Structure 1
Amino acid sequence: MIIAAQIFATAAALLHIYIFSMESITWTTGKTRALFKTSEAEAEATREMAFNQGFYNLFLAVAALAGVIALGMGHLAVGSTLVFAGAGSMLAAALVLALGSPGKAKLAVKQGMFPLLSVALLALGLALGN
């Protein structure tokens, strides 16, 4: 189960790296604006906020990936802690999105599914000793 948790943590990290790239690099492009349903003026007005928010996503991805690597190297306590911190924060952010913007619930589910599976499988794997 811990290996499955690592796979889902990696998937969550990759998704959040993609979100980072959209928010911090391509925020004002037509494709990203269409995905986030923002006008050119809204994208320009929120550019600095999105840039900052993108880096939050990147840092969570780095924490989760560092945990996956540590687990792979046999460092159970450190790896688990990093995966719980990184993926757990991703999951919490998805919950905040769903509760704060009910119209974005589908997006929140997409954003939170991989972290949820990672956290749940890691907790179960640790509890069962595998």
Structure 2
Amino acid sequence: MIAAGLVLAALAALVHVYIFTLESFTWTSPRTRATFGTTPEGAEATKELAFNQGFYNLFLAVVAAAGVVATATGADAVGAALVLAGTGSMLAAALVLVLSSPDKARSAAVQGAFPLLAVVATVVGLLA
């Protein structure tokens, strides 16, 4: 189960790197605006906030990826801690999104599905 947790954590990290790219580099583009449902004016007004938020997503991805690498190199305890810290934070952010903006449930599901599965698989693997 640990291996499944690592694969799922890596996928979660990739999703969050993609979100980082959207928020930090392409926020005002028509495609990204369509993805997030923003107007040109709204995207321009929130460009600095999105840039900063993108980096939060990147940092969560880095923590999860570092956990995958640590586990793969034999540092199992450190790796598990980092995987759970990274994916647990991603999952918590997805829950905050859906609770604060129920109309963004689809986005929360995209953001939180791999982290949820990674947390479950990792915890089950650790308990086995």
Match of 1:104 in 2: 104
Equivalences for 1:50-65 in 2 at 5 Å?
Answer: 50-65=50-65
Q: CA deviation at 1:107?
A: 1.4
- Paired residue total: 128
* Cα distance in structure 2, aligned partners of 1:4 and 1:22: 27
SS in 2 for 1:28: coil
Query: TM-score normalised to the size of structure 1?
Result: 0.97
Tell me which moved more, 100-109 or 62-71. 100-109
Unaligned stretches of 5+ in structure 1? none
Q: Deviations over 1:37-73 (max 9, x none)?
A: 1011000000000000000000000000000000101
Cα RMSD (Å): 0.5
Q: Which runs of 4+ in 1 moved over 2 A?
A: none
**Percent identity over the alignment?**
60
* Cα distance in structure 1, aligned partners of 2:111 and 2:56: 14
Q: CA deviation at 1:74?
A: 1.1
Unaligned stretches of 5+ in structure 2? none
Equivalences for 1:1-130 in 2 at 5 Å?
Answer: 1-128=1-128
